[in-house]
Amino acid sequence: MRATKELLLKLQKLDDEIDAMRNEEESIPVTKQELEEGLESLKQKVQEAKDNSIEFAKKRKELEVELDSMNEKKNKFKTQLFQVKSNREYEALQHEIAALDEKGSGIEDQILGILDQAEAATAVIKQAETRLEEDIAKARAEQAKLDESLKKLRSDIAIKLDERTRLLVDADEALIKRYERIRESKDGLAVTSVENGACGGCFRHIPPQEMQNLKRDERIIICEGCGRIIIWKWE
């Protein structure tokens, strides 16, 4: 019976190690994807800043074209001042010129504001691009480490699986099938020990007679609470 107990203990410990390594193996691609998503988010911010800069340049060009058109019209009116023959016509042209001056001043203020925004956007782009370059370098280094970790994990898992195969060469087939069924239905934990007078799997209190049977270690005992294989002491 002791040999059977030792086999089950070794098997459970081995499977726990394999499960832990497989969980880590599965987490690595997720971590790599999160790194890539972080880079993509930063790339989008850089592109948005560039798009804003393009819009500023476009708006500035539109305002400059409008200002040039107004200046042409104003110069035309100024030329006409020397051609009019009445005070009324002269005053009307002066009024038009003054209106164009006021509107032109407003457009010039808009252009200056856009120039300030464009300058700020350029600074943002420069900072974002610098950060992006740094983050890309860090992410690629981290991804390379993760790839190395993944490679080692897969090698370690293969070693553990080989160890598991060798462990079960002479094992009782019915017992191992039973172990596998319990393990599958109990989140990987098929074998547990007594902890403070209770099952280490479900924490059900173990009656005195059952405790004595566990101490004698004469047969496989199944916890009536959770159905796991329970032993007296985890060695």
Roughly what angle, to the nearest 10 degrees, separates helices 2-81 and 87-167?
Answer: 170
Residue-range domain boundaries for the chain: 17-170, 174-231
Cα angle, residue 187 at apex, residues 10 and 195 outer, rounded to 5°: 60
User: Per-residue pLDDT tens for 57-108?
Assistant: 999 999 999 999 999 999 999 999 888 889 999 999 999 999 999 999 999 9
Q: Average of pLDDT values for 135-139?
A: 95
The pLDDT value recorded for residue 137 is: 96
Which two structure tokens, joined as six digits, stand for 127?
A: 């900072």
Q: pTM to 2 decimals? A: 0.70
What angle in degrees, to the nearest 10, is found between the helix axes of 2-81 and 173-185?
30
Of 222, 211, 203, 173, nearest to 7 by C-alpha is 173
Q: Could you tell me which residues come within 8 angstroms of residue 228 by beta carbon, excluding any fewer than 6 positions away?
A: 182, 186, 189, 190, 191, 192, 199, 201, 202, 222
Q: Where are the alpha helices (DSSP H) in the chain?
A: 2-81, 87-167, 173-185, 208-216
pLDDT at site 5: 85
What class, spelled out in words, does domain 17-170 have in CATH? mainly alpha
Q: What is the pLDDT of residue 234?
A: 65
Terminal alpha carbon distance of the chain = 15
